[in-house]
Amino acid sequence: MSVKQNIDIQRLPKHIAIIMDGNGRWAKQKGKIRTFGHQHGVAAVKDTVESCAELGIKVLTLYAFSTENWKRPQFEINALMQLLVQSISKETPTLMENNIRLITIGDTESLPSGVSKKLKKVISDTANNTRMTLVLALSYSSRWEITRAMKLIGEKIKKGELDPAKIDEKTIDNHLCTAGLPDPELLIRTSGENRISNYLLWQIAYAELYFTSKLWPDFRREDLYEALIDYQSRERRFGLTSEQLSPDHA
Ligand code: IPE
Ligand code: IPE
Ligand code: MG
């Protein structure tokens, strides 16, 4: 029996966020340079995107390049940007066939113009797709995003459009790059690192965290299914007691 059959389709998370990590180590294990690992990470992205869409996940957010990643060697940054352009062009038909909308979060203005041009095109081409939203976090970090939100809110207060006394959680939500998207219920990180690395700090307040030692280029749909089964085995209490959640068993 396939692992997939153990997934309860009625209790899927609406939004899965993934920190795709371990490309460099994967390449190193094979005696290759880091960029070889990035190239092989593309197959993992494709399999994950397709399997999420097939399952009925509504939003998938992939951490592709962080604000901090700009500090990597220029050669690696260039290779990652080139790979991004190539993959976007190559995979646009797959997005269309699978009715997937692509959007980005992050400081996309800091991306090379060739990359942002390609992105804008795919974003507009896929804008009316409805099956799943694929969010690419590019030049993204949560502190950058929260700082940006504070600036936007500050501007509105200054112009008299917003009363500081009326600021609530919804106001903050609405000024993040993820405005309008549900919070991720499940966050997956590959490569055995148990950290968040400046990813969706506000949005993952109540997400279930799942860490796997698999390196990203080896991650496939079966690994996603394992993560979902683990997620479904957990009791999400949101501060309540177990008895409050299922009074019958009190
Ligand atoms: C993740 O793999 C991809 C990016 C951060 C762009 P890494 O490149 O971080 O690989 P490791 O963690 O060094 O193995
Ligand atoms: C996080 O991975 C960013 C992405 C996956 C794009 P890193 O490899 O950059 O994170 P650290 O440095 O291990 O925290
Ligand atoms: Mg890493």
- Identify which ligand lies nearest to the alpha carbon of 62: 2
Domain parsing of the chain, residue ranges: 12-140+184-233
Distance, C-alpha 240 to centroid of its chain:
28
CA of 100 relative to ligand 3 center, distance in Å: 27
Is 107 annotated in the active site?
no
Contact residues for 241 (Cβ-Cβ < 8 A; gap 6+) = none
Could you give the CA distance from residue 223 to residue 218 in angstroms, rounded to a whole number?
Answer: 9
Residue 181: what pLDDT? Answer: 98
Which atom of ligand 2 lies at the shortest distance from residue 69's CA? 9
Which atom of ligand 2 lies at the shortest distance from residue 64's CA? 6
Beta bridge partners, 165, equal none
State mean pLDDT over 58-73.
Answer: 98
| Annotated catalytic residue within 47, 69, 125, 174 | 69
pTM of this structure: 0.97
For tokens 């005696």, name the residue: 31
Could you give the CA distance from residue 173 to residue 168 in angstroms, rounded to a whole number?
Answer: 9
Residue 1: what pLDDT? Answer: 58
CA of 117 relative to ligand 2 center, distance in Å: 25
What percent of the chain has pLDDT above 70? 99
Could you give the CA distance from residue 93 to residue 225 in angstroms, rounded to a whole number?
Answer: 25
- Find out whether the beta carbon of 191 lies less than 6 Å from any atom of ligand 1: yes
Query: What does the radius of gyration of the chain's CA atoms come to, in whole angstroms?
Result: 19
- Find out whether the beta carbon of 22 lies less than 6 Å from any atom of ligand 1: yes
Residue 248: what pLDDT? Answer: 76
Residue 249: what pLDDT? Answer: 61
Could you give the CA distance from residue 208 to residue 226 in angstroms, rounded to a whole number?
Answer: 14
- Find out whether the beta carbon of 65 lies less than 6 Å from any atom of ligand 1: yes
Is 21 annotated in the active site?
yes
User: Hey, what CATH topology would domain 12-140+184-233 get?
Assistant: Undecaprenyl pyrophosphate synthetase (3.40.1180)
Could you give the CA distance from residue 182 to residue 55 in angstroms, rounded to a whole number?
Answer: 17
61 confidence band (pLDDT: 50, 70, 90): very high
Which atom of ligand 2 lies at the shortest distance from residue 24's CA? 8
Using a 10 angstrom Cβ sphere, with 0-12 exposed, 13-18 middle and 19 or more buried, the burial of residue 236 is: exposed
Residue 250: what pLDDT? Answer: 56
What single DSSP character describes residue 35? H
How confident is the model over 168-212, as pLDDT tens digits? 999 999 999 999 999 999 999 999 999 999 999 999 999 999 999
Residues with CB under 6 A from ligand 2: 19-21, 63-66, 68-69, 193, 195, 197
On the question of pLDDT at 50 being above 70, the answer is yes
For tokens 């307040």, name the residue: 205
- Identify which ligand lies nearest to the alpha carbon of 136: 2
Using a 10 angstrom Cβ sphere, with 0-12 exposed, 13-18 middle and 19 or more buried, the burial of residue 187 is: buried
CA of 234 relative to ligand 1 center, distance in Å: 29
Please tell me the residue having the least CA distance from ligand 2 atom 10: 197
